[in-house]
Chains A and B, each alone.
Chain A
Amino acid sequence: SQTIHQWPATLVQPVGSPLSLECTVEGTSNPNLYWYRQAAGRGLQLLFYSVGIGQISSEVPQNLSASRPQDRQFILSSKKLLLSDSGFYLCAWSVGGNSPLHFGNGTRLTVT
């Protein structure tokens, strides 16, 4: 069966520091991968998605970037965090077509 791992679960970082969140999927090949963010009291905002290695689409211009160095690995990064980057970050995968998204357990990022 397929599983998704996302870490760390919580993270507290100072303003201006770098960020790296990692997500890996097991049990499937060539999944579509996604990064979402849920800001406090808000819905799920699509940040990036990828349909293959090295293929990244950005939905919202911002202080973040994403990379997919391997088929089942998706990384969310920032060179310098802003206070507004605080939120709950979720990685998800799908096999496409009539297939739902499946989410990881998320990372709570607090930028101080």
Chain B
Amino acid sequence: DQQVKQNSPSLSVQEGRISILNCDYTNSMFDYFLWYKKYPAEGPTFLISISSIKDKNEDGRFTVFLNKSAKHLSLHIVPSQPGDSAVYFCAASARRTGNQFYFGTGTSLTVIP
């Protein structure tokens, strides 16, 4: 059973505009959430994370929002750049019950120059 879901396989955005990537989870025990960026034939690179005690975390052009009641998180990239084109994965962990990290299926972002 997929505990972390990314329902949009792909997203295209014009350069300079906002990219919004969405992620849903089902396990209410998850308390730590992360976003990763992945290029083909490479390992994922950590972008940004958020603890369940917060609802927003910002790092430069990247902001992650967490809505615990809806079990939903999103990644905002503003402004989007062509170099942001990659596959983005969200991940979640329940630190109190284990050390596992569960990933979504990814969203392929294309930023059009």
Contact = CB atoms under 8 A, between A and B. Distances in A.
Interface stretch (B11-19, B40-48, B64-72, B73-81): B40-48
B43 A106 contact: yes
B31 to A, nearest CB: 9
Nearest to B47: A100
Contacts of B42: 105-106
Interface residues of A, number: 28
Contact of A94 (B44, B45, B99, B102): B99
Interface of A: 6, 32, 34, 36, 42-46, 49, 51, 57, 59, 88, 90, 92, 94, 96-98, 100-106, 108
17 contacts: A43-B6, A43-B104, A43-B105, A45-B103, A46-B102, A49-B99, A57-B100, A88-B41, A92-B43, A96-B99, A98-B51, A100-B34, A100-B49, A101-B101, A103-B36, A104-B43, A108-B41
